[in-house]
Amino acid sequence: MNQHTILIHAQHTLKPFKSLFEGFFPQAQIHYETPKTLFINIPQTEEPENPEDLYHLLLSDLEEKITLINMPLAGSALLSNELFAKSIPALPSGYYDYETFLIEVIKHFPNIQTVIKRNIASILNPTLISNMIALGKYNLNVSNAASALYVHRNTLIYRMDSVKEKTGIDVKQFEGLMIFYLLFR
Amino acid sequence: MGVLSFKGIKKIYDGNVQAVADFNLEVQDKEFIVFVGPSGCGKSTTLRMVAGLEDITEGELVIDGRRVNNVPPKDRNIAMVFQSYALYPHMSVFDNMAFGLKLRKRPKDEIKKRVDDAAQILGLQDLLDRKPKALSGGQRQRVALGRAIVRNAEVFLMDEPLSNLDAKLRVQMRAELIKLHERIKTTTIYVTHDQIEAMTMADRIVVMNDGYIQQVGTPSEVYDYPNNLFVGGFIGTPAMNFIKGRLDNDGHFIINKTKIKLPKAKWDNLKEKGYANKEMVFGIRPEDIHDDNVVKETYPDAVVNFKVDVAELLGSETNITAKFEEQLVIARVDARTDININDNIELVFDMNKSHFFDPETQERVREKDEVIKRNK
Ligand SMILES: Nc1ncnc2c1ncn2[C@@H]1O[C@H](COP(=O)(O)OP(=O)(O)O)[C@@H](O)[C@H]1O
Ligand SMILES: [Mg+2]
């Protein structure tokens, strides 16, 4: 299902997060941790209405630079937990949705970029990838992109959904397509 | 005390985005300061630098006499309130308010006292055991404020705290925030893109655009004496009208074939400053354009023929959008229902309320007695 993982990084106080999560999502489970980063799986039933609210709550209670990333579960197909955890502290602190986070990682770390690119290429067939580039070229206009690709509009929409399902990347957003542009164009 | 001093503060994000440029401001103890400006103008960045969540690229930030550029957020004695009803859903109201103090390992009885005091101020005494789900929107918002109050901070930082609320609740919370500030007088920096919020809440407003401060002043100063075209256009709804034309050398403002006479003091000032025969932008607020005969008789040389484009009846007032010399102008007059599209009507500019802007510098031409008037 459409389960989410929340990645949290703090420089000093990671401990209180654990009790916090019990207060916020009683069913949540920590599924990976390093001394400064926690990966917490949130079951769909407890999905926060707006994960940015959670970021703000934590910020106002902890008062230190923290980073919070809201990642769909499929995101773990793109990068190992180790590499995610390594990249987070190097980014400017703040709240990131998944797509924006990937763009930042791609910009900051050429070697991680290579890994993400390789992983996407192994999950998605080349047609899907080139379709996404076409979609970008047609300014996210599905009808125009579909006719240029000689496929039915619904086919293209189906493929976009399938990209999201397999990689977690929402290509209905500008930022999602930008990831494909940065990696494959 | 909560005194802040911004000295030449600048923020450049990596990737060379200059978000804030040369920000200078002195905030007095107990003041309610509002940063206002369009999205992306650098309000949140400035606030985050005060909070210590963003490094300061250049300049100095001094809070209560102490340079805090390198002081971590927790040691700055500030409390943050963000846009949200956001509360920990599985914690009681009490625990939501107490959580920050528990993290700081304050003694239990102190926590209880502070939460009780804040609950008293906010009228939440009877709700302390409830979960957020069982609260109304307004109650939740008050708990969110309570979370800040319990900290006994010297400065409150609020980033668009009301922007997620529906219009009615927003108005109600605005009033409640003002009341709260009157009561506890904590120095507050409040960020919003909503100029009405700024005008109704602030002791002083800081108008920002493109990373630069455009003007600092009380709401009435910023409204009556805008520094430049940006401030004139941003503060006030409907916005100030800007009419392009030029001055002659005889005390008139010329728009194509229309000639409007300036009051003597205005003209003397403009002439003295070298604006005779120059292109100018004439600014006039909608409420300073009238349709009643008394005003027309008082300023016969500022009566202009308009063709009506739209007339909107809004309760006790009517907003007339009308055209003259190919320029659209909005006038706010007393309610009337006898106006139709394409009617020709006469309106009169209250020229004593006129503003003149230099189109090159975008600055408003200052009046001679302005400093005295502004300080009244
Ligand atoms: N973390 C960041 N990295 C790069 N640029 C940023 C970052 N945060 C904000 N900016 C940019 O800085 C400028 C000011 O943003 P912000 O302070 O959020 O504006 P406001 O709060 O007034 O809407 C904008 O151009 C914005 O895109
Ligand atoms: Mg902002």
Q: List residues, by chain if needed, whose CB lies under 5 Å from ion ligand 2.
A: B 44
**Residue of B50, B93, B99 to mutate for A, most A C-beta atoms under 10 A:** B99
Same domain, A96 and A149: no
Q: Is residue A21 part of a domain?
A: yes
Q: Is residue A116 part of a domain?
A: no
Kindly provide the residue ranges of all beta strands, DSSP E only, lying in B113-251, ordered along the sequence: 155-159, 187-192, 204-209, 212-217, 241-247
Same domain, A132 and A69: no
Query: What is the arithmetic mean of pLDDT over B163-191?
Result: 92
Mean model confidence pLDDT for chain A: 88
Instruction: Choose the final residue of a domain: A62, A81, A109.
Output: A109
pLDDT of residue B376: 59
Q: Is residue A97 part of a domain?
A: yes
**Residue of A20, A21, A57 to mutate for B, most B C-beta atoms under 10 A:** A57
pLDDT of residue B51: 95
Kindly state the percentage of chain A with pLDDT values over 90. Answer: 53
Same domain, A95 and A131: no
Same domain, A98 and A134: no
Same domain, A74 and A46: yes
pLDDT of residue B16: 86
Q: List phi, psi (to 5°) of A60.
A: -75, -25
pLDDT category of residue A47 using cuts at 50, 70 and 90: low
Convert the pLDDT of each residue in A161-172 to its tens digit.
999 999 999 999
Is the pLDDT reported for residue B45 higher than 50? yes
Q: What dihedral angle (degrees, nearest 10) is formed by the CA atoms of B301, B305, B310, B313?
A: 50
Q: Using the beta-carbon criterion (under 8 Å), do A16 and B103 form an inter-chain contact?
A: yes
Look up the domain containing A104 and give its range: 3-109
Any A CB within 8 A of B104 CB: no
Q: Is residue A66 part of a domain?
A: yes
Residues A64/A157, Cβ–Cβ less than 8 Å: no
Same domain, A41 and A129: no
N-term to C-term CA, chain A: 31
Q: Is residue A114 part of a domain?
A: no
Ligand 1 atom at shortest distance from the alpha carbon of B13: 4
pLDDT of residue A25: 74
User: What count of Cα atoms within 13 Å lies in the side-chain half-sphere of residue B264?
Assistant: 0
Q: What's the B201 CA to ligand 1 centre distance in angstroms?
A: 24
Q: Which amino acid is at B79?
A: A
Q: In this structure, which residue's CA is closest to atom 10 in ligand 1?
A: B19
C-alpha–C-alpha distance, residues A183 and A78, integer Å: 13
Same domain, A17 and A97: yes
Is the pLDDT reported for residue B363 higher than 70? yes
User: Which residue from B14, B81, B84 is facing A53, i.e. has the nearest CB?
Assistant: B84
Convert the pLDDT of each residue in B122-131 to its tens digit.
999 999 999 9
pLDDT category of residue A1 using cuts at 50, 70 and 90: very low
pLDDT of residue A161: 96
Same domain, A89 and A162: no
Would you say the C-alpha torsion B324, B329, B335, B337 has a positive or negative sign?
A: positive
Kindly state the percentage of chain B with pLDDT values over 70. Answer: 98
- Indicate which CATH number applies to the domain containing A168: 1.10.10.2840
pLDDT of residue B288: 96
Same domain, A21 and A104: yes
A102 min Cα distance to partner chain B (Å)? 17
Same domain, A77 and A129: no
B200 min Cα distance to partner chain A (Å)? 26
- Indicate which CATH number applies to the domain containing A20: 3.30.70
User: Which residue from B82, B90, B91 is facing A60, i.e. has the nearest CB?
Assistant: B82
pLDDT of residue A49: 65
Q: Is residue A50 part of a domain?
A: yes
pLDDT category of residue A4 using cuts at 50, 70 and 90: confident
Is the pLDDT reported for residue B42 higher than 90? yes
Q: Using the beta-carbon criterion (under 8 Å), do A61 and B100 form an inter-chain contact?
A: yes
Q: List phi, psi (to 5°) of A38.
A: -120, 140
Same domain, A8 and A93: yes
Burial of residue B173 (number of CB atoms within 10 Å: 0-12, 13-18, 19+): buried
ipTM: 0.80
Convert the pLDDT of each residue in B279-314 to its tens digit.
999 999 999 999 988 888 888 999 999 999 999 988
Q: Is residue A137 part of a domain?
A: yes
Query: What is the arithmetic mean of pLDDT over A53-80?
Result: 89
Same domain, A104 and A133: no
pLDDT of residue A46: 65
Is the pLDDT reported for residue A149 higher than 90? yes
Kindly state the percentage of chain A with pLDDT values over 70. Answer: 92
Instruction: Choose the final residue of a domain: A85, A109, A133.
Output: A109
Instruction: Choose the final residue of a domain: A82, A109, A136.
Output: A109
Q: Is residue A54 part of a domain?
A: yes
Ligand with the closest atom to the CA of B83: 2
Q: Using the beta-carbon criterion (under 8 Å), do A23 and B95 form an inter-chain contact?
A: yes
Mean model confidence pLDDT for chain B: 93
- Residue for token pair 């963003």: B54
pLDDT of residue B147: 94
Q: How many domains would you assign to chain A?
A: 2
